[in-house]
Structure 1
Amino acid sequence: MHRVTITLDDDLMEKLDAIIAARGYQNRSEAIRDLARIGIQQTAAETTSGHCVGAMVYTYDHSKRDLPRKLTQSFHHHHDLSRATMHVHLDHDQCLEVTILDGNATELQHFADHIFAERGVRYGRLVTIPAEPPAEGHEHHHEHDASS
């Protein structure tokens, strides 16, 4: 393990100490190591052009003219990327959707950008994780414990 000395301004140190307290870290080194790992993973996910899985999260106003129809058309047009979607009604007009995506990182980002750019979509975020592409003809067989 290497010892590193860093300088942080007071505001950043206060925020770091708040994270340490909230998450129960034993010391600053543990917190900084975890934050560094998260940053490295996030950078790798953002810069990958290979296969990945992801979660696209967005809120939208379903009462906006033609928006639900446009979203449905986009999903049908990109059916090969979408695995599952959960839809939640937040209030009378606002909906939240979380969609699990699987495919090339560039294609996932392009699809998400298209969804987020639709008029009436208020918030959008795509989180991707590099993953191995599924094997051709792979079938998933495993047993489930009946007692669980």
Structure 2
Amino acid sequence: MSRLVRFGVSLEEKLLTAFDQHITRKGYQNRSEAIRDLIRNQLVGEEWGGNKETVGTITLVYDHHQSDVLQQLTHHQHEYGKQIISNLHVHLDHDHCLEVIVVRGRSSALIDLANLLIKTKGVKHGQLTMTTTGKAVR
């Protein structure tokens, strides 16, 4: 483990109060834990913007009765086969399915794949969530 370093932060009182309320809602033990998470989140966000290798999920909700939706989604996923690690398919009700696709690759390719899947006719909602491979996070 790295050596811990103490440093001070100056904030407006209202901002500190709001931050302390955030800490309480999230269940952090102290401000240091919350600040570490904020810094990590910022650094992970830079991984996405830098088109570095990243991992994530693409979550889709769609009407499987919609003409060709399954065929189109499968076709798009085959086009990006190198980026897809796994997927989970859940029948939500008689008409709707949830699909969670685990992806890995350059952030630009994952964004392209997500956009392609989300705009497919019959997809009611879609979202890409990217995170880090963990290599750059300390």
TM-score by length of structure 1 reads 0.71
Q: CA deviation at 1:9?
A: 5.1
> Per-residue CA shift, 1:27-81, capped at 9, x if unaligned?
344323323322332x223213132222212211212221111101111222222
In the alignment, residue 34 of structure 2 is paired with which amino acid?
A
Fraction of identical pairs, as percent? 33
Distance 1:115 1:8, change over 3 A: farther
Distance 1:22 1:59, change over 3 A: same
Moved over 4 A (4+): none
- What's the counterpart of residue 3 of structure 2? none
Alignment size in residue pairs: 128
Aligned match for 1:81, one of 76, 83, 94: 83
What secondary structure sits across from 2:10 in the alignment?
coil
Would the aligned equivalents of 2:61 and 2:99 in 1 still touch at CA under 8 Å?
A: yes
Distance 1:83 1:5, change over 3 A: same
TM-score by length of structure 2 reads 0.75
RMSD between aligned residues = 2.6
Gaps of 5+ in 1: 133-148
In the alignment, residue 75 of structure 1 is paired with which amino acid?
Q
Gaps of 5+ in 2: 1-5
Aligned match for 2:35, one of 6, 25, 32: 32
